């Protein structure tokens, strides 16, 4: 199989073309993977007071439940969103990981993981916000941190 990337400022949108002499299992698998990527959440509506904001998932540090509501935390704000954590967990891109019963974090925004007697504390880049990771999810988080792109 050949893979070719053609980037030009002339293109208005991204397009993926698969050329094959027949539709076999390999082609079907590639199509399934591409469709799965396309259905992932890339933007989400967040509510702050009476205003609706379109949030890019790249800007979200973590999602957290509080009093039966789910909030998307960015560097400066916490936006109310109309999803449950299990829905987010299923539909967010792969850089998001469940780290406790009440939170999902963006692994790409993690600055540090500090292990102490009090718990495993996550600090985020360019933000004062922090959350705790439960022991149940710690191994997955460490693995994901080791795999992330620098």
State how far the alpha carbon of 112 is from the alpha carbons of 28, 98, 120, 128, in Å.
Answer: 40, 17, 10, 12
- The rounded distance, in Å, linking the Cα atoms of 12 and 29 is 27
What residues contact 59, with CB distance under 8 A and at least 6 apart?
Answer: 74, 75
Which residue, among 108, 121, 102, 93, has the nearest Cα to 61 in the 3D structure? 108
Residues in CB range of 136: below 8 A, 6 or more apart: 100
For position 46, what pLDDT does the model report? 93
Domain borders along the chain are 43-147
Q: Architecture of 43-147 per CATH?
A: Beta Barrel (2.40)
What pLDDT, on the 0 to 100 scale, is given for residue 104? 95
pLDDT tens, 116-150? Answer: 777 889 999 888 999 999 888 888 888 888 876 55
pLDDT at 99: 93
> Tell me: the pLDDT tens digits for 35-94?
777 666 688 899 999 999 999 888 999 999 998 999 999 999 999 999 999 999 888 888
Rounded distance, CA 34 to CA 17, Å? 11
Tokens (6 digits) for 128: 């004062």
37 HSE (CA, 13 A, CB side) = 7
Specify which residues 110 forms β-bridges with: 124
């Amino acid at each position: 199989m050949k893979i070719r990337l053609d980037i030009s400022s002339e293109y208005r949108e991204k397009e993926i073309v698969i050329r094959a002499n027949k539709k076999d299992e390999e082609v079907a698998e590639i199509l399934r993977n591409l469709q799965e990527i396309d259905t992932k959440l890339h933007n989400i509506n967040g509510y702050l007071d009476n205003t609706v904001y379109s949030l890019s998932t790249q800007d979200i540090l973590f999602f957290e439940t509080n009093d039966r509501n789910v909030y998307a935390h960015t560097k400066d704000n916490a936006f109310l969103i109309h999803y449950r954590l299990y829905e987010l967990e299923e539909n967010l891109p792969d850089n998001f990981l469940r780290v406790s019963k009440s939170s999902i974090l963006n692994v790409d925004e993690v600055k540090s993981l500090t292990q102490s007697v009090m718990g495993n504390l996550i600090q985020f880049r360019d933000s004062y916000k922090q959350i705790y990771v439960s022991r149940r999810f710690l191994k997955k988080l460490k693995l994901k941190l080791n795999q992330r792109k620098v």
